[in-house]
């Protein structure tokens, strides 16, 4: 293992017993299959742990536990105050173990320590946010006219299967668990088989908080063996999924058995539109951040940079200078600004897109895997820019999910909107301009779930997150995210108890 700054606690923890187990019904359990998945450090490709690989039988045990826990009502009918207090304790505990989570995330995902710290703080904030808003959750009474009284209440949906990707492992776990638990559901979390480690540590911490058995369950394993049985089960009432669009489509197909609720947070190919009147330095800074933070492994990455023609040439020159300064390295190393890609498969995919790009456009910088001192065995790649890209080119249409930027020139506002909307995805977009009305017009015209004006990648817990078109169904975060974990029930009562006499009278 690359041992740059990995604490002795983490080294011991990686060899501990829970790593190989699943958390089912309040206990750490061996997988029935006894199979293991090798987990690697992306900076070295060395195996750092072997985690349990759940089979269908294990997943069914977790579903059974979650079903019983939900039906018992101990958690699902507990007071909002009780649930809120638990979520605050989760936040306190993560905060108390912040450095551990940061190290584990960097070791498993490859992102820099600074990026991991941002994620862990985001997870803490998510638990605190849902702890706060569940206290104030209310129903409604409708003014329907006598003799009827109608009230609307919200109830938890039931057993929730939550399937998450590898790019923000702990943060995605928090985005799923916090609102679901706040609403009173029971959960089965299925982390990515590539990055299961922070979820395991999170469940060790949750275990100390004495939740009723079965309320939270953790099944590590592959999409086919651990994910699909969750999706197909008629005992699961909701699937909340974050991941690739193709997987999302499969999940919709496999979930039809009991018409369970499905929410999907999927891929993107977000446009970042720079108008000539924008604050130049700010736009330049955000343009590099938008694509190269988290090594470009971000669903809402600003991977299509649209630049107005009058500043195009200079902007591209300055962008290349700024990009060449980005320090790529092991996430643990002081001074590293961009870590490796998550695994060899992702590296291969990104390199294949770079080869496609070379046929389709002009490679302006980067494009190479980084090898040599400090990079020997890891999945390091240079931040890469293609310029003069045709908006219909594959590298401008398909999600690469790596540090590869496509730059597209445009002349007019209308043309920028047309290019930005010409995508099967609709997750997010950035707009840089000094003209407030123009910003508002473009923001309104874009078919995306989130727009950022003169900023990029600000994920506010208080607001809805999710996509139009093939970027997903439903919303996370904010009160919108809570609603996704609640059923709505209308309860109609009458002030006059009387028969309808519908069938006892002659037809008039």
d(CA 273, CA 454): 10
Residue 89 or 469 with smaller CB distance to ligand NAD: 469
CB of 111 to ligand NAD, least distance (A): 13
Binding of ligand NAD by 299 (CB under 6 A): yes
Which of 100, 115, 187, 299 is an active site residue?
299
User: What tokens were used for 213?
Assistant: 């058995």
Residue 193 or 382 with smaller CB distance to ligand NAD: 193
Residue 333 or 349 with smaller CB distance to ligand NAD: 349
* Helices and strands of the chain, counted as H and E runs: 16, 22
Output the DSSP codes for 353-415. Answer: HHHHHHHHSEEEE---B--STTTTTS--B--EEEES--TTSHHHHS---SSEEEEEEE-SHHH
Binding of ligand NAD by 265 (CB under 6 A): yes
- Going by the DSSP 8-state scheme, the letter that residue 507 receives in this structure is P
Q: What x-and-dash track marks residues 454-483 binding ligand NAD by CB under 6 A?
A: -------------x----x-----------
Which one of residues 158, 165, 184, 378 is an interface residue with ligand NAD (CB under 6 A)? 165
Would residue 187 show up in a list of annotated catalytic residues for this protein? no
For residue 452, what are the β-bridge partners? 430
Which of 265, 297, 476, 484 is an active site residue?
265
d(CA 464, CA 474): 9
Binding of ligand NAD by 227 (CB under 6 A): yes
Binding of ligand NAD by 174 (CB under 6 A): no
For residue 186, what are the β-bridge partners? 159
User: What tokens were used for 497?
Assistant: 């108890």
Binding of ligand NAD by 233 (CB under 6 A): no
Output the DSSP codes for 299-330. Answer: TT---EEEEEHHHHHHHHHHHHHHHHT--B--
Which of the stretches 44-52, 158-166, 368-376, 389-397 binds ligand NAD when contact is defined by CB under 6 A?
A: 158-166
426 to 445, contacts with ligand NAD by CB under 6 A? Answer: 427
Which of the stretches 104-112, 220-228, 416-424, 487-495 binds ligand NAD when contact is defined by CB under 6 A?
A: 220-228
The CA angle 151-215-211, to the nearest 5 degrees, is 105
Which one of residues 110, 179, 196, 268 is an interface residue with ligand NAD (CB under 6 A)? 268
Nearest to 176 by CA among 197, 161, 166: 161
Binding of ligand NAD by 397 (CB under 6 A): no
Q: In what order do the strands lie in the sheet with 148-156?
A: 140-142, 148-156, 486-494
User: What tokens were used for 41?
Assistant: 């450090």
Nearest to 294 by CA among 422, 122, 97, 447: 122
Residue 383 or 481 with smaller CB distance to ligand NAD: 481
d(CA 85, CA 206): 13
CB of 255 to ligand NAD, least distance (A): 9
Binding of ligand NAD by 196 (CB under 6 A): no
d(CA 110, CA 339): 6
Which of the stretches 202-210, 221-229, 322-330, 402-410 binds ligand NAD when contact is defined by CB under 6 A?
A: 221-229
Length of the chain: 508
CB of 233 to ligand NAD, least distance (A): 11
> For residue 160, how many other CB atoms are within 10 A of its CB?
30
| Total residues interacting with ligand NAD, rule: CB under 6 A | 30
Binding of ligand NAD by 167 (CB under 6 A): yes
Would residue 365 show up in a list of annotated catalytic residues for this protein? no
Binding of ligand NAD by 244 (CB under 6 A): yes
Residue 26 or 424 with smaller CB distance to ligand NAD: 424
Residue 26 or 223 with smaller CB distance to ligand NAD: 223
CB of 451 to ligand NAD, least distance (A): 15
Which of the stretches 134-142, 159-167, 330-338, 455-463 binds ligand NAD when contact is defined by CB under 6 A?
A: 159-167
> For residue 489, how many other CB atoms are within 10 A of its CB?
11
Binding of ligand NAD by 111 (CB under 6 A): no
Burial class (CB in 10 A: 0-12, 13-18, 19+), 144: exposed
Residue 188 or 385 with smaller CB distance to ligand NAD: 188
Q: List contacts with ligand NAD (CB under 6 A).
A: 163-167, 190, 192-193, 222-224, 227-228, 231, 242-244, 247, 250-251, 265-268, 299, 399, 401, 427, 467, 472
Provide the annotated active-site residues.
265, 299
């Amino acid at each position: 293992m690359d041992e740059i700054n990995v604490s002795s606690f983490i080294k011991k923890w990686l060899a501990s017993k829970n790593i190989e187990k699943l958390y089912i019904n309040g206990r750490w359990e061996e997988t029935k299959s006894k199979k293991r998945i090798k987990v690697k450090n992306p900076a070295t490709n060395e195996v750092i742990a072997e985690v349990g690989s759940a089979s269908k039988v294990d997943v069914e045990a977790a579903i059974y536990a979650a079903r019983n826990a939900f039906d018992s009502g101990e958690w699902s009918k507990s007071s909002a105050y009780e649930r809120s207090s638990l979520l605050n304790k989760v936040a306190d505990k993560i905060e108390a173990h912040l450095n551990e989570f940061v190290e584990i995330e960097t070791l498993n995902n490859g992102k820099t320590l600074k990026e991991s710290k941002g994620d862990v703080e985001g997870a803490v904030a998510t638990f605190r946010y849902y702890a706060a808003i569940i206290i104030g959750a209310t129903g409604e009474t409708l003014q329907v006219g006598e003799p009827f009284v109608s009230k609307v209440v919200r109830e938890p949906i039931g057993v929730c299967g939550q399937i998450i990707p590898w790019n923000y492992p702990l943060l995605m776990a928090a985005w799923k668990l916090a609102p679901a638990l706040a609403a009173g559901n029971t959960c089965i979390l299925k982390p990515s088989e590539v990055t299961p480690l922070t979820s395991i540590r999170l469940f060790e911490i949750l275990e100390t908080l004495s939740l009723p058995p079965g309320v939270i369950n953790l099944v590590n394993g592959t999409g086919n063996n651990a994910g699909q049985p969750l999706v197909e089960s008629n005992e699961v009432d909701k699937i909340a999924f974050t991941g690739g669009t193709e997987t999302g489509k499969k999940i919709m197909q496999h979930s039809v058995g009991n018409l369970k609720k499905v929410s999907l947070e999927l891929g993107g190919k977000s446009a970042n539109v720079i108008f000539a009147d924008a604050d130049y330095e700010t736009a330049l800074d955000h343009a590099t951040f938008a694509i190269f933070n988290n090594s470009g492994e971000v669903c809402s990455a600003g991977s299509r940079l649209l630049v107005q023609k009058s500043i195009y040439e200079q902007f591209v020159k300055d962008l290349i200078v700024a990009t060449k300064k980005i320090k790529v390295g092991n996430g643990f190393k002081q001074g590293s600004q961009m870590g490796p890609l998550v695994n060899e498969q992702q590296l291969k995919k990104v390199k294949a897109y770079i080869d496609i790009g070379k046929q389709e456009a002009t490679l302006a910088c980067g494009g190479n895997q980084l090898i040599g001192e400090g990079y020997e065995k890891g999945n390091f790649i240079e931040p890469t820019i293609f310029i003069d890209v045709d908006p219909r080119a594959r590298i401008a249409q398909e999600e690469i999910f790596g540090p590869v930027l496509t730059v597209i020139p445009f002349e007019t506002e209308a043309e920028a909107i047309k290019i930005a909307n010409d995508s099967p995805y609709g997750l997010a977009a950035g707009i840089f301009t000094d003209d407030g009305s123009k910003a508002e017009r473009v923001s309104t015209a874009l078919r995306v779930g989130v727009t950022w004006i003169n900023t990029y990648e600000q994920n506010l817990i208080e607001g809805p997150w999710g996509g139009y078109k093939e970027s997903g169904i439903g919303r996370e975060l904010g009160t919108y995210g809570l609603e996704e974990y609640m059923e709505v029930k209308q309860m109609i009562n009458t002030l006059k108890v009387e028969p309808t006499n519908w069938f006892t009278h002659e037809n008039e």
